[in-house]
Amino acid sequence: PWGVPAMPGCRCPRPALPILRWLPRYSRAWLPLDLLAGLAVGLTTVPQALAYAELAGLPLQYGLYSSFMGCFVYCFLGTAKDVTLGPTAIMSLLVSSYSFHEPAHAVLLAFLSGCIQLAMGLLHLGFLLDFISCPVIKGFTSAASITISFNQIKNILGLQGIPRQFFLQVYETLRRIGETRAGDAVLGLTCLAALTGLRAMKSHLPQAAPAEPLAVRISYLIVWISATARNALVVLFAGLVAYSFQVMGSQPFRLTGSIPRGLPAFRPPRFSLALPNGTVPFHSMVEDMGVGLAVVPLMGLLETIAIAKAFASQSGYRIDPNQELLALGVANVLGSFVSSYPVTGSFGRTAVNAQSGVCTPAGGLVTGALVLLSLAYLTSLFYYIPKAALAAVIISAVVPMFDAGIFRTLWRVKRLDLVPLCVTFLLCFWEVQYGIVAGVLVSGILLLYSIARPPIKVSEGTVLLVQLGSSLHFPAVEHLRDSVCSRALAASPPRSVILDCSHVSSIDFTVVVGLAELLQELRRHSLSLAFCGLKDPVLQVLLSADLEGFRHFPSWEEA
């Protein structure tokens, strides 16, 4: 029922607020499905929020602070029923790079990122994301999968004082591997194995038919809930083990520790930072974030829109990209008032939402409420969660992001696309922002080269027939002139030229000037140039230019 188009002939204006498109026709039958989906996503969100705050280098409560506002906002402003907003592994990695493990920086980054996203949505600038190619995205996510996973190895092994930079991290981890704490290592690997097994169980779980006996359907439901809420179950199991050791008077694990109880205060982000040796003003905080003010909002938009499009296409409805920008921008701006760091669409939690049969974005209200209940009443229980268990949750979430098959696919489909993929992939191990920027630049150069050097097919006969394989833009006009002149004058005897423009949809002033010079060049050698297959907009421009010697024909056979 979601996203059903209006009946033909209906002239009713479409409501500006997305919630008004589905709330008036909300069915009572959707309620249990939305409640179940919201609960399933909430059981995934709470342990992941704690783990992602650890990854971002922030106190763990900030993961929970970041996990409820996006759920509420998206219910009102989102256009995809499946999408859930909140902290993610990639966004947490970026926040750790640009917030310097300082909560005030992270919250301000959320506010500024939200403002940028809001501005892009209002100005309909979502098309800018189309310039980030798939190889760049795949290179970034694959490198992020490796760096995030290795970043958590220190917690699996119980090591402390490991640097953040990837190469130093690898060196220090290997150098100090002899200091591994046996308790953390055993628990972390056990949690990782359990999460992997539960994930595999869910992917191979056959659908229980309604005709099956009641016992079979109940068994299916138990297994499905266990596999879906695997993060919560594993963290709960690890916490009980740690608590048991604590009661017995020993503690072989590094624990999460105390988390402040209660909801965050509703207040604007801090625009200056008080330190013991002075105050850091707003402009200095912005300068410290640097290129993060471009990378964080863009990657947030990219993740959200890519996820929304993927699940919308599966469910057969369409999304509004600019409305998605507005929803994400509002979520980040309002989130910063409750001490949230930047959020975006979560692929894993969105998949749980879709698989749970969610019918509308109202499921997010249940998820947000569950996070608020955890903050209000359960934070004292989080003290006993081992860090190794949270590390296992993160590794389990990000390993599927590594796409080994993309290298083989691009080698088979278009090898040139391996260049931006490899540039992004390798440089992201140095610094994330360098990898993304370099990948976008390389993709841009390849795109500009294809525009500047369009395929040109030349057929020889009594005249030269020159066929342009793609549109004609000003960077290509010199190449076209050189190709036409060299082939026309090199022929024996020199031949006149027919330029087939059937693939050219528009031209600019520089192209007109270049074509005028080509006409003059050929005329100096007593040769002519005729055009054929001109589309109306191109023909009108050339007629307006009043080119000397300009001739055109509907097709080259008539020339």
Give residue-wise pLDDT tens across range 414-473.
999 999 999 999 998 887 778 888 998 999 999 999 888 888 888 888 888 998 888 888
456-553: CATH number:
3.30.750.24
pLDDT score for 310:
65
Question: 314 pLDDT band (50/70/90 cuts)?
Answer: low
Find the angle CA(112)-CA(117)-CA(121) to the nearest 5 degrees.
Answer: 150
- The stretch 467-480 carries a mean pLDDT of 88
Instruction: Report how far apart, in Å, the C-alpha atoms of 337 and of each of 41, 270, 373 are.
Output: 24, 10, 19
Query: In Å, how far from its chain's centre is CA 404?
Result: 18
SS3 content of the chain, % helix, strand, coil (to 5): 65, 5, 30
C-alpha–C-alpha distance, residues 265 and 300, integer Å? 25
Between 144-158, 204-218, 400-414, the lowest mean confidence (pLDDT) is in 204-218
- Assess whether pLDDT exceeds 70 at residue 188: yes
Greatest mean pLDDT among 27-31, 52-56, 110-114: 110-114
Is 524 within 8 Å of 530 (Cβ atoms)?
Answer: no
Q: What is the pLDDT of residues 326-340, one digit of tens each?
A: 999 999 999 999 999
Residue 10 has pLDDT above 50, yes or no: no
Beta carbons within 8 Å of 287's beta carbon, 6+ residues apart:
none
Provide mean pLDDT across the span 494-518.
90
pLDDT at 247 over 60: yes
pLDDT tens, residue by residue, 63-100: 999 999 999 999 999 888 888 999 998 899 899 989 88
Under a CB-based contact definition with an 8 Å cutoff, are residues 185 and 177 in contact? no
> What distance lies between CA 501 and its chain's CA centroid?
38
Q: Where in the chain is the domain with CATH 3.30.750.24?
A: 456-553
> How is residue 469 written in tokens?
């394989």
Band (pLDDT 50/70/90 cuts) for residue 313 is low
Instruction: Examine the pLDDT at 341 and tell me if it is beyond 90.
Output: yes
Per-residue pLDDT at 16 exceeds 50: yes
pTM for this entry: 0.77
